[in-house]
Amino acid sequence: MTQDTSVDEIQSQALGALGAIDDIRKLDEWRVAYLGRSGRLTSVLRGLGALPPEARREVGQRANMVKSVLEKALEEKEEVLRQAELQRSIEGGKLDITLPGRRPNRGRLHPTTQVVREICDAFVAMGFQIVEGPEVEWDYYNFEALNIPKDHPARDMWDTIWIDPPSESEKPMLLRTHTSPMQIRVMEKTQPPVRVVVPGKVYRYEATDATHESQFYQVEGLAVDTNITFAELKGTLYEFARRIFGTERKVRFRCDYFPFVEPGVEMAIDCFACGGRGCRICSNSGWIEIMGAGMVHPEVLRHVNYDPEIYTGFAFGLGPERIAMLKYGIDDIRLFYSNDLRFLYQF
């Protein structure tokens, strides 16, 4: 038998075998047997080199023709079997071709990100620029330069997660406990007038409850210029509250202490849950604190070589999760980071 007749034989055997297949899952076995890397036709094509030149051309051409015939036959058979399978499942009632398709899931921004952006937009509209800074911070920026020297009791206001504890390192590092260190970084690099907001994540070694997380966001604000007074601070923050909450909500300013401001204030909004009567969420006070603020302390200005006789400024640091809670009536801050899609899909 010549190589040529053996190629014809392969074709007729292959087509016979293909005709006998009635299950789509068996087609791959057939493909491997005849057209696969060690299949019968591929072996003939591989052996062409050993044939004399005139036979090589003839057998080669024939084998390639057979290959196309088999490939086409495989394609047709696959289509026939697929149609048959579809027909069977329609008849068997397994496939409801009238069912609407499944909607692909669409991604969206996390509610905290949405609120952070909304807050920043409100300040950008009032002439502030947005800057960002490191979450791993030096003790110097987080405390020292903000008028909180080592061993000062004010450090206890921020339960700190240390990377290098102060006793072990000359230049201790920590996870920033607030966005206020960016006040120093910005003023070191710029000359007044300064108007910036700084969104970012902060970390505290703190037990969680309905209004406290150990990782949360803050948005810092800083304005320094000549002639900035407490009136500018109040005007800016009232305007912010009006833009975010509308004109109906009540705003309360109270004296507060932060070592890097003088005087210092705390700003609160009336509790969304009890309308100010007092409940679990607002610790029976009727108010939810959303930010600390104040006039930048002259000592902080001196730290960055601004002359406090010429320049004054105000600063604030607010909690976007608390603002989202007030805006949307969310009664537990832990919902933001529990990865519960039923919660997240509402925003």
Which residues of this protein are in contact with ligand YSA, per CB under 6 A? Answer: 178, 180, 204, 206, 212-213, 216, 218, 220, 258, 260-261, 289-294, 315-319, 321-322, 333
Q: Which lies closer to ligand YSA via its Cβ, residue 14 or residue 261?
A: 261
Q: Is 63 a catalytic residue?
A: no
- Cβ neighbours of residue 4 closer than 8 Å, sequence gap 6 or more: 58, 59, 62
Q: Is 261 a catalytic residue?
A: yes
Q: How far apart are CA 288 and CA 294, in angstroms?
A: 18
Q: Is 152 a catalytic residue?
A: no
Q: How far apart are CA 281 and CA 320, in angstroms?
A: 16
Q: Which lies closer to ligand YSA via its Cβ, residue 47 or residue 193?
A: 193
Q: Is 178 a catalytic residue?
A: yes
Tell me which residue has its CB nearest to ligand YSA: 319
DSSP state of 49: G
Q: Which lies closer to ligand YSA via its Cβ, residue 184 or residue 318?
A: 318
**137 contacts 164 by C-beta, under 8 angstroms:** no
Helix (H, G, I), strand (E, B) or coil at 338: coil
Question: Catalytic residue among 62, 176, 178, 195, which?
Answer: 178
**146 contacts 260 by C-beta, under 8 angstroms:** yes
Q: How far apart are CA 194 and CA 14, in angstroms?
A: 82
Q: In the structure encoding, which two tokens stand for residue 198, read together? A: 């700084």
Q: Is 115 a catalytic residue?
A: no
In the complex, what is the shortest distance from the CB of residue 98 to ligand YSA, in angstroms, rounded to a whole number? 50
Q: Which lies closer to ligand YSA via its Cβ, residue 66 or residue 184?
A: 184
Q: In the structure encoding, which two tokens stand for residue 92, read together? A: 């068997």
Question: Catalytic residue among 7, 218, 293, 296, which?
Answer: 218
In the complex, what is the shortest distance from the CB of residue 89 to ligand YSA, in angstroms, rounded to a whole number? 54
Catalytic residues: 158, 178, 204, 218, 261, 315
